[in-house]
Amino acid sequence: MIISRTVKDFMATNVITFLPEMEIMEAVRIMVEQGISGAPVVDKDSNIVGMLTEKDCIQIVLNAGYYDDWGGRVDEFMNPVVVTIDANTDIVELAKKFIAGPYRRFPVVHNGQLAGQISRHDILRAILSLTS
C-alpha cells in the first residue's frame, strides 16, 4: 500500500531561477551548463512571473533567421502563464496533473512564494520511495 505523501517531500528546493530582465542568451547558457530544461522566472520580490523552457528558447533561432537578432530579454521569450503547485498537494493529485497536462515540471509555492520545483522525474523517485 502506498503511503500518502505531499509534494514538499519530493520537490527540489535548490531551484535555478531567471530574472525577467536577464539576457536570454545568458539564460540559455545556464540551462545548457546546468543540464536543465526550464526554470521559473521571478521578479525582485521572488514572485513567479513566468516560466522559461527549452521550447521557449527555440524562438531565438526563428528570430535570428527572420531578423538576424540572437538577443533579447528573458521576459520576451518566457511563458507568462504559470501553473503552480502548492507544497502541501498530495503526490497522487500531482501525478494526475502530470498525466492530464503537457507540463514536465511545476514550480512549487508555499504561502505564495516559490518554495521549490517538482518534475516528472521527482514523481518517479516518489514511486520508488513509496513502494519499497
pLDDT (tens digit per residue) in 26-71: 999 999 999 998 999 999 988 899 999 999 998 887 777 666 767 8
30 occurs within a structural domain? yes
Report the CATH number that the domain containing residue 46 is assigned in CATH.
3.10.580.10
Residue 113 forms part of a structural domain: yes
Kindly state whether residue 1 falls inside one of the protein's structural domains.
Answer: no
Whole-number Å distance between alpha carbons of 121 and 19: 25
Report how many domains make up the chain. 1
Whole-number percent of the chain with pLDDT over 70: 93
Q: Does residue 22 lie within any of the structural domains?
A: yes
Per-position DSSP letters for 95-126, written without gaps between them: HHHHHHS--SEEEEEETTEEEEEEEHHHHHHH
Decide if 120 is inside a domain.
Answer: yes
pLDDT surpassing 90 at residue 8: yes
pLDDT tens for each residue of 61-72: 777 766 676 788
* Contact call for residues 122 and 10 (beta carbons, < 8 A): yes
56 is a domain residue? yes
Domain span at residue 19 reads 7-131
Does residue 4 register a pLDDT over 80? no
Task: Indicate whether 2 belongs to any domain.
Answer: no
Distance CA 117, CA 106 (A): 6
